[in-house]
Structure 1
Amino acid sequence: MDIGWAGLVRGRVYVRLFGDTPRSNQTVYLCSGEKGPSYRGTSFYKAHKLEQPMESLRGGDFENNDGTGGRAIVDGITSGGVYYHEIAAGLFVSWPAHELWHLGSFDIYLRDCPGVFDNSAHGIVTSGLDLLRLAARHKPITDTSVQDCGLVIPVATST
């Protein structure tokens, strides 16, 4: 994801998804735009609990761009099980399975929170976490956005 504000791309964030699951597949579709909706051009709409445990940045409302939308675009999304992870800085999560109207939206935790778990984790930021922390502190938060997004597909090399 290319993240920016004030009309400028400020940097790139990479998220590694946790396997072939409905939540991860939905994120792939929303990053690629393959099924129509996309995170491209969406604003971050909330910096949640700044300077506190569970600090996060919320975005991904591709429908209304204000946190009221971001519906599920794939079927079979559940919570718990493979999605149950201890909260660490960079953990990429979406909403609980019963909130179908928000399942395409996401939160990215910006701080470690040892001993606290999330039921909807499906990725981790591998690069760009400091950029997300800067974005979370930008005022107004809605000026920050995913200016572009896509997929990086690792290619195995033979030796």
Structure 2
Amino acid sequence: MCMYMKGVVDRVSNNGCVLQVSEIIKTLNPKSTITFLEMAGEGLTRGRVYIRVSEDETEARRFVGLCTGQPGSSFLNTRLDEVVDKGKRNECVFGGNYSFTDYNPYPIHYQVGRVSFMSHSEKHGEFCINTKNGYESSGIYIGQVESGLEVVKAAVQLNDITQVTVVDCGVVVPL
């Protein structure tokens, strides 16, 4: 069965149905939700990164919301911004610039596949995906990459990571 979000398509096939995002979100358990970020760019094979969000319900809901676009803003069409410590311990990728009203970082340990929110200021931040193990840093743990880390690692190897865009994002809906 194909599922389309209301407002995304004008016409649905005979085998499809129309559901509002809010109805889909109600079915998700924020403590075990899997989100995805689909990335593409010049020199990068299009691929999906699947992330299981953490059990922190507040931050999990925020991340899920930015993946679905439910609160109005989304990671859709955002770019990866930079690679920090390329080729070294602590290597990680930043992307998906967004705004928030409350940010309370705490120490987290860099671990391959770890996903976190990191802040540049009191009101703006980005998601961070670790591609190598490393030291403790300050941020908010969001979850762990379940699969697709190779997409992020391939993006790290590009000359200009800012050419990589989140071309699709959302949640995996268990049937």
In structure 2, what is the equivalent of residue 100 of structure 1? Answer: 122
- Structure 1 equivalent of residue 48 of structure 2: 12
Matched residue count:
139
Give 2:131's aligned residue.
Answer: 110
Q: Which structure exhibits the higher relative contact order, with contacts defined as CA atoms closer than 8 Å and separated by 6 or more residues?
A: 1
Per-residue CA deviation, residues 81-137 of structure 1 (Å, 9 max, x unaligned), is xxx4432101101125x933223x111110012x63544111111101111011122
3-state SS in 1 of match to 2:123: helix
Check 1:25–1:138 CA distance in 2 against 1; reply closer, same or farther (3 A cut): same
Query: Which 5+ residue runs of structure 1 have no aligned equivalent?
Result: 62-69
Contact 2:80-2:164 within 8 A present in 1 as well: yes
Stretches of structure 2 lacking an aligned partner (at least 5 in a row)? 1-36
Give me the whole-angstrom Cα distance separating, in 1, the residues matched to 2:70 and 2:114.
Answer: 24
1:48 maps to what in 2? Answer: 84
Q: d(CA) in 2 for partners of 1:124 and 1:151? A: 14
The 5 A counterparts of 1:1-159 are: 1-6=37-42, 10-61=46-97, 70-72=98-100, 76-80=102-106, 84-96=107-119, 99-103=121-125, 105-113=126-134, 116-154=136-174
The CA distance in 1 between the partners of 2:150 and 2:43, in whole Å, is 19
